[in-house]
Each structure stands twice: as C-alpha cells, then as structure tokens.
C-alpha cells in the first residue's frame, strides 16, 4: 500500500493519537516514526538524544521514515522535528496527502505536562510553556507549504480524525486551506478558511445534513448579485433543491419581522428539520439567518458562508444569533436572540474582493480588537502590515481570518452562552459602540466604526482610572486611523460644555448605555485592557461612564 497520508506538526499536536483514530476509520495501517526509532534502538528517544546527541537521533529518524514509506503503511505519524532535514520533506511529499496538525503553544505545553510518556528532551522542564513558545517560533516555517492544516485545540481526537478524513475525501480541487474543528456545548462545528473555499460547499453538505433534500439560501440582494453564480455552482454537486430567501441589505433587516417572513417561506416550501439553511452574507444576514435556523422547528442544520471581514473574523463564529428590537417604547441592538453555533463555516477569502471599501475597513475593527484583548504580538504584526492589509493581500487576509477565528474560539468554546465572563472580553469597545449606534438611529457609523471609537474611549477611560497602561489609547488610535477608521465620537452627539452640564445630555447617554446586555442594575461589566493583549472586566456604574464622557466633551470644547 502506498502511503495515503503523512501527519506532521509540532510536539503534542496529536499526530499519533489522530493517526490511530484515522486508522480505525479507514482500515489503513498506521506507522509511527518515533516508535520505529525506539523499537530499532531498544531505548526511548530521550535517552538516544541524551547519550548520542540530537544529530544522531535525526539520522535514525530519517532512516525510520524511509522504512515507513517502504512498508505497507497507509498513515505515517512523524515527530515534531522531522522537517528539519530537507531530505525528509522530499520523502514526505511523495505521499498522496500531507496534513499539518496545528496546536497553540499553551495547549501543547498543557498536553506535554499531563503526559508522562511524552517525548520532550528538547524542552525545559522548569518553564515548559516558554520553551515550547521558543521552539515553536524556531520551527514556525517548517510546516508551511502543505495544502492542508487542521487545528487540534478545540475538539477531541475523534472529531479531528473525522475532519481530516472529510478533507481527504473531497474531490474539489482546493488551494491551501485551514480547517478548525471545535466542540462547544456538545455541538460540533468546523471552520474552513481558504481562497475559493466555497467551491467545496456542495461536497461538504453531506457531513452537515445527510438527509436534506432542500437548501434554503438566506442572503441579502446585493450580496446575491455578486455571488449567486459561485454559490449556485458550488451547490450543484449536492443535488439539493435550492430555496432562495432574499433580504434587504442593511441593519434594518435585523428585525423579528424578517425572521417571521423567512419562517413563512420555509413552511410554504415544506421545509423539514432534515433540510439545511445556508447564510450567505455579512453579520446582519448571519445573525438573522442563524436565528431562523435555531427557531424553525426548534433547530435545523446551519452553514454560514460569511462574505465580510467582520463576519469571517468574528460574527459567524461562536453561535450568537440575534435581531434588534425597535419600537416606540423601547429599542436595542441584538435584544432577541439565541446561542446556536453553525455546523459549518466556510470563510472564503476571495469573497472579500467585492466588499466596498468602507465595509472592508469597518470590519477590520473587530480584527484589531483581538490584538488589543488577546495578543500583543498580533497587534504589532497588524501595525507592520497596514499597507498590505488595505490592499487586501489574500495571503495576509487568510492569516488574519485564521488568527481571529482561533482567538474567537479561545473565548467562546468554554463560555458559549456568555455566562462565566470569559466571553465578555469580546465586548471590548462595544459598550460605547452600541450606544453610539443607538443614538444615531443606526443611520450613522457602521458597527465597526462605532466599535473603533468605543475601543479608544475604553482605553482613555481605563487610563483615567489607572486600569490601562498610559499611551495605549494613542497606540491603538493611530492604528485605527491608519486603517481609515474613526476614533472620536460623532460631533452631533457631543453638544459642548453648556449642554454637557445639562441633565439632558447625561440622560440620553445613560439610556443608550443601559440597553447593554452586560448590565446588572446600574452596573455594566465594562471591558478594560490593562496592557496590549490583556483584557479584564470590571463592574462599572453607568453614571461614571457618562461622567467621564461629559468630562471629555468639555475638555474638547475648551
């Protein structure tokens, strides 16, 4: 048997474990290169390296790899450093498929610490995480160039193996792609990221809704004009009957009446619980279609195909669905909603080409948010690549969507329903941002623009209270400005010194802020950032937020 698949990746990415699961699913024989070395030498790898040195081990490893390829192996699991030698890469590339199993440094360190049998002679036992980060950084370029990467952090080995097999079974000729399986609240989900990833949609449906006979496509009219042909072509291989439900573009579509009309269309088409909903569009469509999927007959399969950067990097991930409440007596953003993770998210980078410039830039606010609350290094990387990002370099965009997707999962997998406070960090900038949107009647700043202003305000507020490092508001504000996003509250909402002293100013802002879903009595779980990449929440009085806002208004007017 020729080698069907080789698994490569850093230590503790799960190559051997996933290999065993994959062997059980396929009947292919698994050969583990590290095990071959230990068997031939009659001693563990850590002893080989300790006594004979790493170079001797690498030679034994190369010999074992050749033997694996000469055997009847269908699956070959390799060691973390197998690609240090070019000859090994050339050997590995002879396989039908090579899969890079990705793992975050923190997860790798945790797995290694819990596994007494783990081979880790090149890692420090005193500071395992730091040594993992260092070694991972040195080897970061080794695993590039392979067409398929599957992350192993957020799902168990069974689901990882199933995801790998599903990718190997595709007949669609896809370019390089990243797959991120996850398990949250007992529901499996999967994100697929890549250029032209939508081409595989039809083939993937059988894994999401094997008994479906219809696919309802919920989409706004403008998006459908751009992408109808591509989605229709991709869907053709599924043999499902398409049901088109077009929505009007814009925030006004996020209303309960939209959900009702969509449900009526589904019922009229004899749509069943086995059938499938596909959400094609940005955050508005994703939120509304997700709510429809969660409510219709108490839940039907859902595929999200986000077409905006904000949806690919943030909104489509994590399962939040919602519509706004707007009436004469009360109004608020995302007031009516559910938690309903999509079964599959296809983030096709090429779909971003058609985005209007303003819509593209506003979506980058949510990307920058992840640098602020989660990763100082990512924030620095964004600062260094502003020109390429604005130019929509698709390789960089793929990296951005991949990083943001992983970051979002870190916050939501253990807190799907937003109960423990971890997920609340994602609301950085949103407290004031949502208030701005509401005060403008959702007719002024776009969501990302309002969030950009909200992030800068939150940092200034934190600096004022001693909760944020001085200068961070200027740093983030400069990055947002370079991207083309606003950093100041709209002038029409700031009424000058005399108006700020009046109760009317404070009352309007307090009412707008009190709609925040994180509010408890008169307090909001306000998200502060201590330093780049380190967020925290603190119960904060709405009156204190407005008082600082009024103070800033008066300072600017003077």
Q: Does 92 reside within a domain?
A: yes
CB-neighbour burial class of residue 75 (10 A; exposed 0-12, middle 13-18, buried 19+) = buried
Write out the two tokens for 58: 């690498």
Q: Does 174 reside within a domain?
A: no
Together in a domain, 380 and 297: no
Together in a domain, 363 and 351: no
Together in a domain, 298 and 434: no
Together in a domain, 34 and 142: yes
- Rounded Cα distance, 269 and 272, in Å: 9
Q: Are strands 519-520 and 523-531 parallel, antiparallel or unpaired?
A: antiparallel
Phi, psi dihedrals of residue 306, rounded to the nearest 5° = -70, 140
Percent of the chain with pLDDT over 90: 80
What pLDDT shows up at residue 94? 92
- Rounded Cα distance, 42 and 164, in Å: 32
Together in a domain, 63 and 113: yes
- pLDDT of 305 above 80: yes
Q: Does 175 reside within a domain?
A: no
Provide the CATH number for the domain around residue 519.
Answer: 1.20.1090.10
pLDDT tens digits, one per residue of 40-54: 999 999 999 999 999
Confidence of residue 497 (pLDDT cuts 50, 70, 90): very low
Q: CB under 8 Å to 21, separation ≥6 — which residues? A: 157, 158, 160, 161
Rg (CA), the chain: 25
Q: CB under 8 Å to 552, separation ≥6 — which residues? A: 457, 460
The secondary structure of 90-150 as a DSSP string is HHHTTSSEEEEEE--HHHHHHHHHH-TT---TTS-SSSHHHHHHHHHHHTTTTTTT-SEEE
Q: Report the pLDDT averaged over residues 459-479.
A: 98
Final residue before a domain boundary, out of 336, 355, 374: 355
Maximum C-alpha span of the chain: 84
User: Between 291 and 500, where is the model more confident?
Assistant: 291
Considering only CA atoms, which of 212, 268, 258 is closest in space to residue 235? Answer: 212
What pLDDT shows up at residue 550? 85
What pLDDT shows up at residue 119? 58
Q: Does 187 reside within a domain?
A: yes
Together in a domain, 531 and 426: yes
Together in a domain, 110 and 212: no
- pLDDT of 529 above 50: yes
Q: DSSP class of residue 314?
A: I
Answer whether 69's CB lies under 8 Å from 91's CB: yes
What pLDDT shows up at residue 117? 65
Domains identified in the chain, total number? 3
Q: Does 413 reside within a domain?
A: yes
Phi, psi dihedrals of residue 155, rounded to the nearest 5° = -150, 165
Q: Are strands 5-8 and 97-102 parallel, antiparallel or unpaired?
A: parallel
Together in a domain, 65 and 80: yes
Final residue before a domain boundary, out of 298, 321, 355: 355
What pLDDT shows up at residue 243? 98
Phi, psi dihedrals of residue 416, rounded to the nearest 5° = -55, -40
- From first CA to last CA, the distance across the chain in angstroms is 79
Provide the CATH number for the domain around residue 351.
Answer: 3.40.50.1970
CA distances from 451 to 317, 442, 495 (A): 18, 13, 21
Together in a domain, 335 and 371: no
Provide the CATH number for the domain around residue 43.
Answer: 3.40.50.300
Q: 75 pairs with which residues across the strands? A: 5, 30
Q: Does 64 reside within a domain?
A: yes
pLDDT tens digits, one per residue of 166-222: 999 998 777 789 999 999 878 899 999 999 999 999 999 999 999 999 999 999 999
Q: Does 177 reside within a domain?
A: no
Q: Does 176 reside within a domain?
A: no
SS3 281: strand
Answer whether 341's CB lies under 8 Å from 318's CB: yes
- Rounded Cα distance, 69 and 316, in Å: 41
Q: Which pTM was predicted? A: 0.93
Least confident of 91-100, 180-189, 483-492: 180-189
SS3 30: strand
Together in a domain, 331 and 368: no
**Structural domain of 75:** 5-169
What pLDDT shows up at residue 118? 63
Together in a domain, 410 and 509: yes
The secondary structure of 499-538 as a DSSP string is HHHSHHHHHHHHHHHTT-TTEETTEEEEEEEEETTEEEEE
Together in a domain, 396 and 498: yes
Final residue before a domain boundary, out of 134, 169, 204: 169
């Amino acid at each position: 048997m020729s080698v069907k698949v080789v698994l490569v990746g850093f230590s503790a990415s799960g190559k051997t474990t996933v290999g065993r699961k994959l062997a059980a699913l396929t009947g292919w024989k698994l050969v583990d290169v590290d095990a071959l070395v230990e068997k031939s030498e009659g001693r563990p790898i850590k002893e080989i390296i300790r006594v004979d040195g790493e170079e001797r081990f690498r030679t034994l490893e190369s010999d074992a790899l050749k033997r694996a390829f000469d055997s009847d192996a269908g699956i070959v699991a390799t060691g973390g450093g197998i690609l240090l030698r070019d000859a090994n890469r050339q050997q590995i590339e002879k396989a039908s498929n090579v899969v890079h199993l990705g793992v975050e440094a923190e997860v790798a360190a945790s797995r290694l610490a819990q596994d007494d049998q783990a081979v880790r002679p090149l890692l420090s036992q005193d500071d395992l995480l730091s040594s993992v980060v260092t070694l991972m950084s040195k080897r970061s370029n080794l695993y590039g160039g392979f067409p398929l990467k599957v992350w192993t952090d957020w799902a168990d080995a069974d689901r990882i193996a199933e995801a790998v097999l599903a990718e190997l079974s595709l007949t669609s000729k896809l370019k390089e792609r990243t797959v991120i399986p996850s398990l949250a609240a007992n529901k499996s989900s999967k994100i697929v990221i890549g250029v032209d990833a939508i081409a595989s949609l039809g083939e993937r449906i059988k894994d999401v809704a094997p008994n479906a006979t219809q696919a309802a496509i919920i989409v706004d009219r403008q998006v459908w004009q751009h992408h109808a042909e591509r989605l229709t072509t991709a869907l053709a291989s599924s043999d499902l009957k398409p049901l088109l439900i077009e929505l009007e573009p814009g925030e006004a579509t996020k209303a309960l009446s939209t959900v009702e009309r969509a449900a009526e269309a589904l019922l009229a088409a004899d749509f069943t619980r086995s059938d499938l909903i596909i959400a094609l569009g940005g955050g508005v469509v994703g939120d509304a279609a997700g709510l429809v999927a969660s409510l219709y007959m108490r839940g039907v399969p859902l595929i999200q195909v986000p077409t905006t950067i904000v949806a690919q990097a943030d909104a489509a991930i994590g399962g939040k669905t919602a519509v706004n409440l707007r009436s004469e007596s009360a109004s608020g953003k995302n007031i009516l909603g559910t938690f309903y993770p999509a079964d599959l998210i296809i983030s096709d980078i090429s779909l971003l080409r058609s985005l209007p410039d303003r819509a593209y830039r506003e979506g980058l606010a949510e990307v920058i948010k992840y640098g602020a609350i989660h990763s100082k290094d990512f924030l620095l990387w964004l600062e260094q690549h502003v020109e390429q990002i604005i130019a929509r370099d698709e390789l960089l965009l793929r990296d951005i969507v991949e990083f943001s997707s992983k970051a979002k999962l870190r916050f939501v997998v253990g807190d799907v329903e937003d109960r423990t406070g971890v997920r609340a960090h994602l609301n950085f900038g949103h407290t004031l941002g949502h208030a701005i949107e509401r005060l403008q009647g959702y007719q002024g700043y776009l969501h990302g623009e309002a969030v950009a202003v909200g992030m800068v305000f939150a940092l200034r507020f934190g600096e004022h209270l001693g909760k944020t490092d001085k200068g961070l508001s200027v740093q983030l504000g400069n990055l947002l400005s370079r991207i083309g996003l606003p950093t100041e509250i709209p002038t029409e909402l700031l009424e000058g010194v005399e108006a700020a002293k009046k109760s009317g100013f404070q009352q309007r802002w307090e009412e707008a802020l009190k709609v925040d879903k994180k509010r408890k009595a008169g307090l909001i779980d306000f998200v502060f950032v201590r330093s780049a990449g380190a967020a925290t929440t603190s119960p904060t009085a709405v009156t204190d937020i407005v008082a600082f806002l009024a103070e800033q208004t008066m300072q600017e007017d003077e």
